[in-house]
Amino acid sequence: MSLFAFALIILGLLALIFGAILGYSAIKFKVESDPLVDQIDAMLPQTQCGQCGYPGCKPYAEAIANGDEINKCPPGGEATIKKLADLMGVEPKPLDSAHGVEDVKKVAYIREAECIGCTKCIQACPVDAIIGAAKQMHTVIVDECTGCDLCVAPCPVDCIDMLPVKETPANFKWHLGKNVSGTVGNIDIKQVS
């Protein structure tokens, strides 16, 4: 009987100790937000365009963490889907065309002569990439524009164009085979036989 009581006391003590450790670490190492959501959020392109049906990249990241499909992000395209599939341990799927198609990178451009200074696009821009004031001309900070398209619809005079990002020697991607003049092989490797 005393042995049984002894065992109970020991086990009880152990339970208390471990409980205390766990309780302490739960407070000490508390994680503010779900780390998975942050990881997913870091993979999304942060255009905040809402094409996925959620009001920004973070909400979509939360939705994916809760089991939503990973193929709803057209700006991220195939590369993002691949990364998300790796992270979530699921098979990559083709982009869901209901949410849009993968397009070349674009930036907004305001035809300044036509701008009436209504500030509607400024309010729509999720990353504050448009500067201007009421009844003053607005313009886009090209380096900050994510190409989300959200400023185009609110413009009452349709003076915003989405233009493809210009290719320069700095961001040239060495297309195999062809160069701009159309000749084959712009780097003639193995030219000595």
Partner 1 sequence: MEAFAKIDILERVDGSAVVEAIKAGRLHNFPGGVHPPEAKLLSNQAPIASMPVPKTLYIPLKQHSGMQGSLIVAVGDRVKKGQALTHSSHPFAVPVHASTSGIITDITEHPSAHASGLPETTIVLKPDGAEDWHIMPPFENYRTVEPITLIERICDAGISGLGGAGFPTHIKTQHNHDVECLIINGIECEPYISSDDRIMREHAWQIKQGIDILRYLVNPKAIIIAVESNKPEAFDALKTACGSDASITMASIPTKYPAGGEKQLIQALTGHEVPRSGLPMDIGCMMFNVGTCFAIADAIIYGKALVQRVVTLTGEALKAPQNVWALLGTPMADLLAFAQYQPAKQKRHKVIMGGPMMGFTVTNDNVPVVKITNCVLVPAADELPDIDDEKPCIRCGYCTDVCPAGLLPQQLYWYSKAKDFAKAEEYALADCIECGACAYVCPSEIPLVQYYRQAKAEIKAQLDEQQKSEKAKQRFEQRQARLEAEKHAREEKHRKAAEARKAAMENNGGDAKAKIAAALARAKAKKQQAAKANDAGTPDNNDESSE
| Minimum CB distance to partner 1 smaller for 27 or for 176 | 176
> Which residues sit at the interface with partner 1, rule CB under 8 A?
41, 44-48, 56-57, 79, 126-129, 144, 146, 167-169, 171-177, 179-181, 183-193
CB of 36 to partner 1, least distance (A): 17
CB of 191 to partner 1, least distance (A): 4
The 3-class secondary structure across the chain, one letter per residue, is: CHHHHHHHHHHHHHHHHHHHHHHHHHHHCCCCCCHHHHHHHHHCCCCCCCCCCCCCHHHHHHHHHCCCCCCCCCCCHHHHHHHHHHHHCCCCCCCCHHHCCCCCCEEEEECCCCCCCCCHHHHHCCCCCEECCCCCCCEECCCCCCCCCCCCCCCCCCCEEEEECCCCCCCCCCCCCECCCCCECCCCCCCCC
CB of 152 to partner 1, least distance (A): 18
CB of 177 to partner 1, least distance (A): 8
